Amino acid sequence: MELTRASGILLHPTSFPGPHGMGDLGEAAFQFVDFLVAAKQSLWQVLPLGPTGYGDSPYASFSSFAGNPLLINLTKLIEAGDLSAGELAEIPPFPVDTIDFGWVIHWKIPLLERAARNFLAGASAERRADFEAFCAEHAGWLDDFALFMAVKEQYDRQAAAENVFGAMWSNYWAKDIALRRPAALKRWRQEQAEAIAVKKVLQYYFFQQWTAVKEYANGQGIRIIGDIPIFVAPDSVDVWANRELFFLDKEGQPTVVAGVPPDYFSETGQLWGNPLYNWKKMAAQDYQWWIERIQATLRLVDIIRIDHFRGFEAYWEVPFGEDTAINGRWVKAPGMELFETIEKELGTLPILAEDLGVITPEVEALRDHFKFPGMKILQFAFDSKEAGGLDATNKFLPHNHGRNAVVYTGTHDNDTTKGWYRERTPEEKDLVRRYLARPDDDIVWDFIRLAIASVARLAIIPFQDALNLDSDARMNTPSVLGGNWAWRYRSEALNPWVANRLSELVDLYGRDPALWQKKAEEEAKALRQAQDETKAEAK
């Protein structure tokens, strides 16, 4: 992928301010885009946009294709006539700086479903036709998704009444619907017709609102970087509707699951528990599921970051039922064939490779063959654990960056730079100060400057770092349950001082794409003039 030098901000829409308990796709989304423009940023990176479940992680979605209905803005549904203003007259006293997901879900989902039922009962012919066109366009995933969610809600209520925890389609549903027997599918579609229609309307709302935000951003010169995990959640329509594409037993339970091997950070490794792809079956179908997944994601975003890219070269396979990842093994994956097939169908892929962790020469070769930019994390450059020591050869240090890369101060899985620096050892802090040739009185903005100054073509700054926030603004702490994904900013955070400081760095280090476009046009014009003069002299 050819990259123009640019920079941007990492911020998930749930972090927007607003009165309804969590960020959504209302006015705050457009105000954030305006802030990006004022700051001369040209990229906006988000986390996965799919519907979330237990743990509220965007990386554990019920679908790889659907949108998160919690991101739907309720005020816009009033404007559309699907809710009345009175229905939002009493808004709970939600916290301002964080998200109480349980509270939001309990309050918001009934309102969304009421709006959807009102739409189904009274939408104009024009809106109804638009909805039907949406359903037809997305039928390949929407029909199964709506059915899955309708059935899941029924069984989740039953499981709650019986105090059953961890209920999923594969271990709790009746076998006829779990295994998608035709008679059961037909019966459930009939019995849950209204619930299925409501689920489809909610997706229609999400896609309408997200498309409006994306078109506004693109119109302002902002490209959106999306994110997809390599693996899918076990309790997802992706697995339920495509059992043959995963290593499952005849009951639908995984036979092997994903993880990462033991390393310096964990003697037992990490047991993720995601079902693993049956790559032979996927190859027999010309990787159609992956083609459709990438294609669907590119309708929502302009560039895709793929999480755990190394899993396309080889992945850590753990037998199902193990308590840890110790007894796993490396298994080769068909990454080269997969991406060649996708590119043959879709053209050059605008993909960023999350190439962190155990990266071998084979993984680097796969990444470089397709010219996918890799990631450079500045915090890792000065972290003796991540780096395996502190020396000048650390690949995350700016002087070792390549051009075909994207540099971050940190990611959603890192502490904020302010919080991270506070926890460094004296040795690590000394290296930071010596490398910067500065005291550490403005460490966060020094890191932002390092990132934007890097030769890496793209630089992404988590919004928490731009706001110079401490650890309480951290988005996610891996392997820690609870308290993640909940940070929000207040509207006053979009202040001119921050925008101006970012803008100055963009100008100083040449990260305005318009600058490079103008330079290329001038060089092309000069070349044409020289060619014309040469032709004239020849005559």
Residues designated as active site: 307, 354, 413
Q: Are strands 405-408 and 374-377 parallel, antiparallel or unpaired?
A: parallel
Which helix (H) or strand (E) element contains residue 330? strand 329-332
Q: Is residue 50 classed exposed, middle or buried when 0-12, 13-18 and 19+ CB atoms within 10 A define those classes?
A: buried
Q: How far is CA 424 from CA 4, 417, 447, 536, in A?
A: 34, 11, 15, 66
Total residues belonging to the chain: 539
Instruction: Name the residue type at position 439.
Output: P
Q: Helical H runs in 162-285?
A: 175-178, 182-191, 193-219, 237-240, 279-284
Neighbours of 295 (CB within 10 A): 13
Q: How many CA atoms lie within 13 A of 236 on its CB side?
A: 25
How many whole angstroms separate alpha carbon 333 and alpha carbon 460?
A: 29
The amino acid occupying position 298 is L
- List of long-range contacts for 381-387, beta carbons under 8 Å, 24+ apart: 382/424, 382/428, 382/431, 382/432, 382/435, 383/424, 383/428, 384/425, 384/427, 384/428, 385/264, 385/265
For the chain, how long is the longest CA-to-CA vector?
92
Count of C-beta atoms within a 10 Å radius of residue 61: 25
Q: Shortest CA distance to 68 belongs to which of 46, 47, 50, 45?
A: 50
CA-based angle 393:399:400, to the nearest 5?
A: 50
Residue 458 burial (CB < 10 Å; 0-12/13-18/19+)?
buried
